[in-house]
A and B are shown apart, each in its own frame.
Chain A
Amino acid sequence: MMDMNLTDETGSGPQTQAAKEAPKPPEIAPSRETIASEATAQESFPPAKAEVRGLNFFYGKAQALKSVNLTFSENRVTAIIGPSGCGKSTLLRCFNRMHDLYPETRYEGKITLEPSGINIIGPETDPLEMRMRIGMVFQKPNAFPKSVFENVAFGLRMQGEAKSSIEEKVESALRAAALWDEVKDRMKDSAYALSGGQQQRLCIARALATDPEILLFDEPTSALDPIATARIEELIAELKEQVTIIIVTHNLQQAARVSDYTAFMYLGELIEAGPTKKIFEDPSNKLTDEYITGDFG
Chain B
Amino acid sequence: MADLNRIIRRRKRQDFIFKIIGISCMLIGIVTLLALLIDLALDGLPRLTWHFLTSFPSRFASQAGILSSWVGTLLVMLVTAMTAVPLGIAAGVYLEEYARKNRLTGFIEINIANLAGVPSIIYGLMALGLLVYQFQLGQSVLAGGLTLAFLILPIVIVATREALRTIPQSMRDAAYALGSTKWQVVRHHLLPYSIGGTLTGVIIALSRAIGETAPLITIGALTFIAFLPPAPVQGEAPFVTFDWVWSPFSVLPIQMFNWVSRPDREFLANAAGAGFLLIIITLSMNAVAILIRYRVRKRIKW
A residues lining the B interface (CB < 8 Å): 96, 98, 101, 103, 128-129, 131-132, 135-136, 138, 140, 142-145, 154-155, 158-159, 190, 192, 203, 206-207, 210
Contacts and interface: CB of A to CB of B under 8 A. Distances in A.
Contacts, number: 59
Contacts of B179: 128-129, 131-132, 155, 158-159, 210
A132 B100 contact: no
A158 B177 contact: no
Given A138-B170, A140-B170, A142-B170, A158 B180 contact: yes
B119 to A, nearest CB: 37
18 contacts: A96-B177, A98-B173, A98-B177, A103-B101, A129-B179, A138-B170, A138-B174, A140-B170, A142-B173, A145-B299, A155-B178, A158-B178, A158-B179, A159-B179, A192-B301, A203-B174, A207-B177, A210-B178
A155 B174 CA distance: 10
Interface stretch (B72-80, B181-189, B199-207, B235-243): B181-189
Majority secondary structure of chain B interface residues (helix, strand, loop or mixed): helix
Contact of A135 (B101, B177, B188, B189): B177
Interface of B: 100-101, 168, 170-181, 184, 188-189, 193, 299-301
A158 B179 CA distance: 7
Given A103-B101, A142-B170, A144-B189, A154 B178 contact: yes
A145 B193 contact: yes
A158 B299 contact: no
A291 B219 CA distance: 75
A121 to B, nearest CB: 16
A131 B100 contact: no
A98 B176 CA distance: 8
Contacts of A158: 178-180, 184
B299 A142 contact: no
Nearest to A192: B301
Contacts of B299: 145, 190
Contacts of A210: 178-179
A203 B173 CA distance: 12
Residue of B101, B170, B175, B176 with highest tally of chain A CB at under 10 A: B176
A116 to B, nearest CB: 17
Given A103-B101, A144-B189, A145-B299, A131 B177 contact: yes
Contacts of B173: 98, 101, 138, 142
Nearest to A151: B174
B180 A101 contact: no
A132 B177 CA distance: 8
Closest 7 CB pairs of A and B: A132-B179, A142-B170, A155-B178, A131-B179, A136-B177, A142-B174, A145-B300
A96 to B, nearest CB: 6
Contacts of B193: 145
B176 A132 contact: no
Nearest to A135: B177
Nearest to B189: A144
Nearest to B193: A145
Residue of B171, B174, B188, B300 with highest tally of chain A CB at under 10 A: B174
Given A132-B179, A145-B193, A145-B300, A103 B100 contact: yes
A206 B176 contact: no
Nearest to B181: A128
Contacts of B171: 142, 144
A131 B170 contact: no
A160 to B, nearest CB: 11
Contacts of B168: 142
Contact of B178 (A103, A131, A143): A131
A140 B173 CA distance: 11
B187 to A, nearest CB: 11
Contacts of A132: 178-179
Contacts of A145: 193, 299-300
B176 A154 contact: no
A195 to B, nearest CB: 15
A212 to B, nearest CB: 10
B169 to A, nearest CB: 9
Contacts of B181: 128
Nearest to A128: B179
A129 B178 CA distance: 10
Contact of A206 (B101, B172, B178): B178
Nearest to A190: B299
Nearest to A157: B188
A45 B177 CA distance: 30
Contacts of B301: 192
